[in-house]
Every structure is written in structure tokens, then in C-alpha cells.
Structure 1
Amino acid sequence: MPIAVLVVEDEALLRFDIADYLAEKGFEVHEAASADQALRILETVREIRLVFTDIDMPGSMDGLKLSAAVRERWPPVHIIVTSGNRIAGKAELPPGSLFFAKPYIPADIARSMQGMLAGGAV
């Protein structure tokens, strides 16, 4: 059974690219264009085990606030944050989360996801 992940990215081409790559690697990929949409998906798709989110997005919250909400409401869900505009320090991220600057290498994202989900080092 594939592991469900949620990709949250408002730039459609970036979202499609990483979602396709992760699907090719065997993940069940759900997509959201905003934090608000991501929360609705998380409320209905209980199988999601990891959220990969951009920081800068339109809507009621950015990716850092989304990450905090995910950690609070769904503590077992792993989180990876990305941005092309800023570097998020450990103090800004929920405990156990990772940060990748854009442009990232999709293989590095998939490898980190696999490591986080396996409970090992990333």
C-alpha cells in the first residue's frame, strides 16, 4: 500500500513536477494549492503521513503557519518545508521537520521523505 503524502504549492508547475516525481517513486500523492485547501484535505484523507509545503502561498496562512497547525492537529504527520524566497531556521519549524531551499532536487525530497517515514536519519 503506497504511503500518502500531501504536496502544498501554489505554483502549479512546481506542484505538478514534484507530485509526478513522488508518484513515480510509489507515493500516493494529494495536491493542494493553498494552506486552506491542505487543511481540508488533511481533515478528509486520514492516511496522509507527510506534508511537503512551500512557505509563501496565498490564503489565510503561509506554509510555516500550516506546518504549526499540522503539528498541533496531526502530531504523527511528518513535515518538509521549502521556499525560494527565504531560509527557515530550526526555530521556525515544528520539531522534527526539515527545510529545503528552492530549487531543490526531487530525488533529495523523496529520499528525505522515505527516511522520515522509516524513522531513520534523513
Structure 2
Amino acid sequence: MDRPASPAPHSDVRLLALIMESETEARIATADRLAEAGFEVLEAWSAQSALLQIERHPMLRLVVVDADLSGSGTRFALTCEIARNRPDLAVVALSAGPAPSEGELPEEVRFAAKPLSPALAREALAQLSA
């Protein structure tokens, strides 16, 4: 489902981000944080819907993934699949559980504890806008 978002400050072009979160309240809160930072935000509630959104939106720049998504195999399976298939994307894995072990995530994937902080959302926008 696409959600309209506020434009990035001092910019006519908003970077496109996808939040993949199975819990509705957490998905909405994360989407709101990304929108407040200046992203245009798409939402996905399952691994299948996330992969479909990624395929449909070649201009996508950031994917925030629920690392604890049940039914996706191992804990970081979807995150690793996205990083492997779309190395052009910035990927953040969010989790309410423990941090990943060394080597469990690709080097370019950022891990953060849930919920996504406004500071991390702004930092991602700044890095992708540079």
C-alpha cells in the first residue's frame, strides 16, 4: 500500500523508501518516522509483498525490514535476500530481539533496535541525498 508523505526539506524530489513490517502499528509508526524525515514511503506487510514492491519500484532507495518476520526462514533471511538481489539499495534491519552475530548480516546492512528512531531516519535520508 502506498502512503503519501511530506517532501524532504528544501527539495522537490523525495527519496522512495519501503517499510516491511508485519505488525500494523509498528509499520505505521515506522512509515511515519520515514515520512517525517522526508522520504516518500511504501508499506509492505509480508515478505512476498515487500519483494513485489521492490520489483515494481526501481527508484526505491531504502528498505527497512522487520528482521523478526515469521515465516521467512531464518531471522534475517529476507534482509539478506534483498541485499543480495538489490545491492543498490540501502537496507536497515529492525528487530526487538538481540543484535545479529558477526557475519549474520551482509556488511552493508545496518541493524537497529525497534522502533526506528527519528535520528536514524534522518541519517539515512542525509546519506542517500549526498
Normalising by the smaller structure, the TM-score range is: 0.7 to 0.9
User: Are positions 1:66 and 2:78 aligned together?
Assistant: yes
Write out aligned runs for 1:1-122 (5 A). Answer: 1-61=13-73, 64-104=76-116, 106-118=117-129
Checking the alignment, whether the CA contact within 8 Å between 2:66 and 2:95 is kept in structure 1 is yes
Structure 1 residue ranges without an equivalent (≥5): none
Structure 2 residue ranges without an equivalent (≥5): 1-12
Checking the alignment, whether the CA contact within 8 Å between 1:63 and 1:81 is kept in structure 2 is no
Checking the alignment, whether the CA contact within 8 Å between 1:8 and 1:35 is kept in structure 2 is yes
Q: CA RMSD in A?
A: 1.9
Instruction: Look up the equivalent residue of 1:59 and give its one-letter code.
Output: G
Question: Cα deviation per residue 1:68-115 (whole Å; 9 max; x = unaligned)?
Answer: 1112211110111111122113411112111111244x2122133124
CA distance change for structure 1 residues 88 and 2 in 2, over 3 Å: closer, same or farther?
same
Instruction: Look up the equivalent residue of 1:70 and give its one-letter code.
Output: I
How many pairs align? 118
Question: Cα deviation per residue 1:31-90 (whole Å; 9 max; x = unaligned)?
Answer: 111111100110111111111111111334466111211122111101111111221134
Name the structure with the higher helix share. 1
Distance apart, 1:28 and its partner CA: 0.8
Instruction: Look up the equivalent residue of 1:86 and give its one-letter code.
Output: P
Instruction: Look up the equivalent residue of 1:23 and give its one-letter code.
Output: A
TM-score (structure 1 length as normaliser) = 0.84
Any idea what SS the aligned residue of 2:88 has? coil
Any idea what SS the aligned residue of 1:92 has? coil
Partners of 2:123 and 2:74 in 1: how far apart?
22
